[in-house]
Protein backbone atom coordinates (compact mmCIF):
# COMPACT_ATOMS: atom_id res chain seq x y z
CA UNK A 1 0.00 0.00 0.00
CA UNK A 2 2.60 2.47 -1.17
CA UNK A 3 1.65 6.12 -0.80
CA UNK A 4 -0.30 5.42 2.39
CA UNK A 5 0.78 6.25 5.92
CA UNK A 6 0.64 3.78 8.79
CA UNK A 7 -2.38 5.70 10.07
CA UNK A 8 -4.15 5.26 6.70
CA UNK A 9 -3.51 1.50 6.77
CA UNK A 10 -4.59 1.14 10.41
CA UNK A 11 -7.86 2.98 9.74
CA UNK A 12 -8.55 0.89 6.62
CA UNK A 13 -8.01 -2.39 8.49
CA UNK A 14 -9.47 -1.22 11.79
CA UNK A 15 -6.34 -2.00 13.84
CA UNK A 16 -3.80 -0.05 15.88
CA UNK A 17 -1.10 1.84 13.96
CA UNK A 18 1.66 0.33 16.14
CA UNK A 19 0.57 -3.12 14.91
CA UNK A 20 1.05 -1.91 11.34
CA UNK A 21 4.48 -0.48 12.22
CA UNK A 22 5.50 -3.76 13.84
CA UNK A 23 4.60 -5.81 10.80
CA UNK A 24 6.30 -3.37 8.42
CA UNK A 25 9.52 -3.73 10.39
CA UNK A 26 9.17 -7.53 10.61
CA UNK A 27 8.34 -7.75 6.91
CA UNK A 28 11.49 -5.85 5.96
CA UNK A 29 13.64 -8.00 8.25
CA UNK A 30 12.30 -11.25 6.79
CA UNK A 31 12.15 -10.17 3.16
CA UNK A 32 15.54 -11.66 2.24
CA UNK A 33 14.63 -15.02 3.75
CA UNK A 34 11.27 -15.09 2.00
CA UNK A 35 12.77 -14.08 -1.35
CA UNK A 36 15.09 -17.10 -1.19
CA UNK A 37 12.09 -19.38 -0.70
CA UNK A 38 9.78 -17.77 -3.22
CA UNK A 39 12.16 -16.71 -6.02
CA UNK A 40 11.53 -18.16 -9.47
CA UNK A 41 13.97 -18.94 -12.26
CA UNK A 42 14.10 -16.21 -14.87
CA UNK A 43 12.10 -17.14 -17.93
CA UNK A 44 10.06 -19.88 -16.25
CA UNK A 45 6.53 -19.77 -14.86
CA UNK A 46 4.33 -16.84 -14.01
CA UNK A 47 5.74 -13.76 -12.22
CA UNK A 48 5.33 -13.88 -8.44
CA UNK A 49 2.22 -12.16 -7.12
CA UNK A 50 3.94 -11.52 -3.82
CA UNK A 51 5.24 -8.10 -2.89
CA UNK A 52 5.76 -6.20 0.32
CA UNK A 53 2.23 -4.75 0.25
CA UNK A 54 0.58 -8.18 0.11
CA UNK A 55 3.01 -9.64 2.64
CA UNK A 56 2.22 -6.82 5.07
CA UNK A 57 -1.52 -7.23 4.52
CA UNK A 58 -1.43 -11.01 5.18
CA UNK A 59 0.68 -10.76 8.33
CA UNK A 60 -1.17 -7.75 9.75
CA UNK A 61 -4.61 -9.33 9.35
CA UNK A 62 -3.48 -12.63 10.91
CA UNK A 63 -1.80 -10.78 13.77
CA UNK A 64 -5.06 -8.95 14.43
CA UNK A 65 -7.18 -12.14 14.43
CA UNK A 66 -5.02 -15.17 15.14
CA UNK A 67 -7.89 -17.66 14.85
CA UNK A 68 -8.45 -17.12 11.11
CA UNK A 69 -8.15 -20.24 8.98
CA UNK A 70 -6.36 -20.16 5.63
CA UNK A 71 -9.73 -20.09 3.82
CA UNK A 72 -11.00 -17.23 5.99
CA UNK A 73 -7.73 -15.35 5.53
CA UNK A 74 -7.94 -15.82 1.76
CA UNK A 75 -11.55 -14.56 1.64
CA UNK A 76 -10.73 -11.51 3.74
CA UNK A 77 -7.60 -10.58 1.82
CA UNK A 78 -9.34 -10.91 -1.54
CA UNK A 79 -11.54 -7.98 -0.56
CA UNK A 80 -8.47 -5.79 -1.04
CA UNK A 81 -6.36 -7.64 -3.61
CA UNK A 82 -6.46 -10.82 -5.69
CA UNK A 83 -4.13 -13.55 -4.52
CA UNK A 84 -4.36 -17.33 -4.45
CA UNK A 85 -4.47 -19.42 -1.28
CA UNK A 86 -1.22 -21.03 -2.41
CA UNK A 87 0.57 -17.66 -2.40
CA UNK A 88 -0.83 -16.83 1.05
CA UNK A 89 0.39 -20.20 2.28
CA UNK A 90 3.85 -19.42 0.87
CA UNK A 91 3.93 -16.10 2.71
CA UNK A 92 2.96 -17.78 5.97
CA UNK A 93 5.55 -20.53 5.60
CA UNK A 94 8.29 -18.02 4.73
CA UNK A 95 7.46 -16.05 7.87
CA UNK A 96 7.55 -19.01 10.24
CA UNK A 97 3.84 -19.85 10.46
CA UNK A 98 2.60 -23.42 10.86
CA UNK A 99 -0.84 -24.91 11.52
CA UNK A 100 -1.38 -26.81 14.74
CA UNK A 101 -1.64 -26.43 18.50
CA UNK A 102 0.30 -23.35 19.60
CA UNK A 103 2.37 -23.41 22.80
CA UNK A 104 0.65 -22.34 26.02
CA UNK A 105 3.74 -21.16 27.93
CA UNK A 106 6.72 -18.93 27.31
CA UNK A 107 10.17 -20.55 27.12
CA UNK A 108 12.50 -19.46 29.92
CA UNK A 109 15.26 -17.08 28.87
CA UNK A 110 18.64 -16.85 30.61
CA UNK A 111 17.39 -13.68 32.31
CA UNK A 112 14.33 -15.54 33.62
CA UNK A 113 16.55 -18.33 34.97
CA UNK A 114 18.90 -15.87 36.66
CA UNK A 115 16.03 -13.98 38.36
CA UNK A 116 14.55 -17.28 39.57
CA UNK A 117 17.93 -18.30 41.00
CA UNK A 118 18.31 -14.92 42.75
CA UNK A 119 14.79 -15.33 44.17
CA UNK A 120 15.59 -18.83 45.48
CA UNK A 121 18.81 -17.67 47.14
CA UNK A 122 17.17 -14.60 48.69
CA UNK A 123 14.28 -16.59 50.21
CA UNK A 124 15.97 -19.93 50.94
CA UNK A 125 15.65 -19.44 54.72
CA UNK A 126 12.39 -17.49 54.64
CA UNK A 127 9.50 -18.45 56.94
CA UNK A 128 6.95 -19.52 54.32
CA UNK A 129 4.36 -20.27 56.99
CA UNK A 130 3.72 -16.51 57.07
CA UNK A 131 2.92 -16.19 53.36
CA UNK A 132 -0.51 -16.21 51.75
CA UNK A 133 -0.35 -17.61 48.22
CA UNK A 134 -3.12 -16.63 45.83
CA UNK A 135 -4.07 -17.12 42.19
CA UNK A 136 -7.04 -17.31 39.85
CA UNK A 137 -8.05 -19.48 36.92
CA UNK A 138 -10.98 -19.97 34.55
CA UNK A 139 -12.87 -23.06 33.43
CA UNK A 140 -14.81 -23.26 30.16
CA UNK A 141 -17.56 -25.66 29.18
CA UNK A 142 -16.34 -28.08 26.49
CA UNK A 143 -12.79 -26.88 27.12
CA UNK A 144 -10.16 -27.87 24.57
CA UNK A 145 -7.23 -26.55 22.61
CA UNK A 146 -7.89 -25.00 19.21
CA UNK A 147 -5.66 -25.56 16.21
CA UNK A 148 -4.68 -22.43 14.31
CA UNK A 149 -1.91 -20.75 12.35
CA UNK A 150 0.86 -19.61 14.67
CA UNK A 151 4.41 -18.31 14.28
CA UNK A 152 7.02 -20.76 15.55
CA UNK A 153 9.63 -17.98 15.69
CA UNK A 154 7.53 -15.70 17.90
CA UNK A 155 7.61 -16.86 21.55
CA UNK A 156 4.72 -14.51 22.37
CA UNK A 157 2.40 -16.11 19.77
CA UNK A 158 0.92 -18.47 22.33
CA UNK A 159 -2.60 -19.26 23.46
CA UNK A 160 -4.13 -18.04 26.70
CA UNK A 161 -7.83 -17.67 25.95
CA UNK A 162 -9.82 -19.95 23.69
CA UNK A 163 -13.25 -19.78 22.04
CA UNK A 164 -15.77 -21.31 24.42
CA UNK A 165 -19.45 -20.85 25.09
CA UNK A 166 -19.33 -20.04 28.81
CA UNK A 167 -16.88 -19.98 31.67
CA UNK A 168 -16.57 -19.62 35.42
CA UNK A 169 -13.71 -17.93 37.25
CA UNK A 170 -12.17 -19.23 40.46
CA UNK A 171 -9.99 -17.22 42.81
CA UNK A 172 -8.31 -18.76 45.82
CA UNK A 173 -5.80 -17.97 48.56
CA UNK A 174 -4.06 -20.36 50.92
CA UNK A 175 -1.61 -20.11 53.80
CA UNK A 176 -0.21 -22.47 56.39
CA UNK A 177 -3.26 -21.94 58.60
CA UNK A 178 -6.04 -20.67 56.34
CA UNK A 179 -7.63 -20.84 52.91
CA UNK A 180 -10.43 -19.07 51.05
CA UNK A 181 -12.06 -19.64 47.64
CA UNK A 182 -14.46 -17.57 45.57
CA UNK A 183 -16.21 -18.23 42.24
CA UNK A 184 -17.73 -15.66 39.89
CA UNK A 185 -18.76 -15.22 36.27
CA UNK A 186 -18.07 -11.53 35.62
CA UNK A 187 -14.87 -10.48 33.85
CA UNK A 188 -11.71 -10.72 35.92
CA UNK A 189 -10.26 -7.22 35.70
CA UNK A 190 -8.44 -4.84 38.04
CA UNK A 191 -11.65 -3.66 39.71
CA UNK A 192 -12.74 -7.25 40.43
CA UNK A 193 -9.26 -8.18 41.62
CA UNK A 194 -9.15 -5.32 44.14
CA UNK A 195 -12.66 -6.30 45.28
CA UNK A 196 -11.38 -9.85 45.94
CA UNK A 197 -8.46 -8.46 47.94
CA UNK A 198 -10.79 -6.36 50.05
CA UNK A 199 -13.66 -8.81 50.59
CA UNK A 200 -11.80 -12.14 50.59
CA UNK A 201 -8.05 -11.90 51.12
CA UNK A 202 -8.29 -9.46 54.03
CA UNK A 203 -10.40 -12.03 55.91
CA UNK A 204 -7.36 -14.29 56.32
CA UNK A 205 -4.58 -11.70 56.22
CA UNK A 206 -2.50 -11.28 59.38
CA UNK A 207 -0.45 -8.13 59.97
CA UNK A 208 2.98 -9.78 59.93
CA UNK A 209 2.14 -11.95 56.88
CA UNK A 210 3.18 -11.50 53.26
CA UNK A 211 1.17 -12.21 50.11
CA UNK A 212 2.52 -13.82 46.95
CA UNK A 213 0.81 -13.84 43.55
CA UNK A 214 2.04 -14.12 39.98
CA UNK A 215 2.92 -11.27 37.61
CA UNK A 216 -0.51 -10.87 36.08
CA UNK A 217 -0.97 -7.20 35.01
CA UNK A 218 -3.99 -6.95 37.32
CA UNK A 219 -1.82 -7.88 40.30
CA UNK A 220 0.73 -5.19 39.45
CA UNK A 221 -1.74 -2.46 38.52
CA UNK A 222 -1.54 0.97 40.17
CA UNK A 223 -5.01 0.48 41.69
CA UNK A 224 -4.03 -2.84 43.29
CA UNK A 225 -0.73 -1.52 44.63
CA UNK A 226 -2.52 1.53 46.03
CA UNK A 227 -4.99 -0.69 47.89
CA UNK A 228 -2.22 -2.89 49.35
CA UNK A 229 -0.23 0.15 50.45
CA UNK A 230 -3.25 1.70 52.19
CA UNK A 231 -3.91 -1.57 54.01
CA UNK A 232 -0.20 -1.97 54.89
CA UNK A 233 -0.18 -5.37 53.22
CA UNK A 234 3.32 -6.72 52.60
CA UNK A 235 3.95 -8.64 49.38
CA UNK A 236 6.79 -10.56 47.78
CA UNK A 237 7.87 -9.78 44.22
CA UNK A 238 7.73 -12.95 42.13
CA UNK A 239 10.17 -13.60 39.21
CA UNK A 240 8.63 -13.59 35.70
CA UNK A 241 7.55 -16.90 34.11
CA UNK A 242 7.54 -18.68 37.48
CA UNK A 243 5.22 -21.57 38.47
CA UNK A 244 1.74 -20.74 39.77
CA UNK A 245 2.15 -19.49 43.37
CA UNK A 246 -0.40 -21.93 44.83
CA UNK A 247 1.53 -24.85 43.28
CA UNK A 248 4.54 -23.82 45.37
CA UNK A 249 2.61 -24.27 48.62
3-state secondary structure the chain: CCCCCHHHHHHHHCCCHHHHHHHHHHHHHHHHHHHHHHCCCCCCCCCCCCCHHHHHHHHHHHHHCCCCCHHHHHHHHCCCCCCCHHHHHHHHHHCCEEEECCCCCCCCCHHHHHHHHHHHHHCCCCCHHHEEEEEEEEEECCCCCCCEEEECCCCCCCCCCCCCCCEEEEEEEECCCCEEEEEECCCCCHHHHHHHHHHHHHHHCCCCCEEECCCCCCCCCHHHHHHHHHCCCEECCCCCCCCCHHHHC
Instruction: Please write the tens of the pLDDT for every residue from 162-175.
Output: 444 567 889 999 99
Is the pTM for the entire model greater than 0.85? no
- List domains and CATH numbers for the chain: 6-95 (no CATH), 110-248 (3.30.420.10)
Lowest-confidence pick of 77-81, 116-120, 126-130, 223-227? 77-81
What is the pLDDT averaged over residues 188-194? 90
What's the average model confidence in pLDDT over 52-60? 85
User: Can you give the pLDDT at residue 44?
Assistant: 44
pLDDT at 58: 86
pLDDT tier, 32 (very low <50, low <70, confident <90, very high otherwise): low
CA distance 50 to 69: 20
pLDDT on residue 27: 66
Q: Residue 133: beta bridge partners? A: 174, 212
Amino acid sequence: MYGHTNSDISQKLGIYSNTVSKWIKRSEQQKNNEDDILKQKIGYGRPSQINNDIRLLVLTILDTNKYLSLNELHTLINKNTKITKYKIHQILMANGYVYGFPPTTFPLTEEHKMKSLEFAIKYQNFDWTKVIFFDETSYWTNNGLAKRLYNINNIYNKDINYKHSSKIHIWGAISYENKIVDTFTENMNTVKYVDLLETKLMKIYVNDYYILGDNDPKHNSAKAKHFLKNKSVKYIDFPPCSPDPILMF
